[in-house]
Amino acid sequence: MSKQWQLQDAKNRLSRLVEEAKSSGPQTITVRGKPTAVVLSVHDYQKLRHRPQKLSAFFAQSPLMGIELDLIRSQELPRAVEL
């Protein structure tokens, strides 16, 4: 959970707010007791902005690409189960 800062405290202690965002994660700024803004480290921001690659690209880059798999399904009947 992020720490909450009142707007006036955030203004007065901006350096501390930035350090806390860097070391402890997102910091919430409140106005009249309501969450209004969040300060993030650049690292956390970049994680949010990163777009996951397409599934097809993921499989194309797989180190298992080109390995033959035995995908033959068993022809045996399933076992009987009492219900």
Greater model confidence, 32 or 80: 32
Round to whole Å and give the CA distance between 83 and 69: 35
Amino acid at position 43, single letter: H
Q: Mean pLDDT across the stretch 6-15?
A: 97
- The pTM of the full predicted model, rounded to 2 decimals, is 0.60
**Predicted confidence (pLDDT) per residue in 14-32, tens digit:** 999 999 999 999 999 999 9
Neighbouring C-beta atoms of residue 38, cutoff 10 Å: 14
Q: What pLDDT, on a 0 to 100 scale, did the predictor assign at position 78?
A: 87
Query: Is pLDDT at 50 greater than 90 in this prediction?
Result: no
Residue 2 φ/ψ, nearest 5 degrees: -80, 155
Q: Mean pLDDT across the stretch 22-49?
A: 95
Round to whole Å and give the CA distance between 26 and 42: 10
Tell me the CATH number of domain 3-60, given options 3.40.50.2000, 3.40.1620.10, 3.20.20.140, 3.40.50.170.
3.40.1620.10
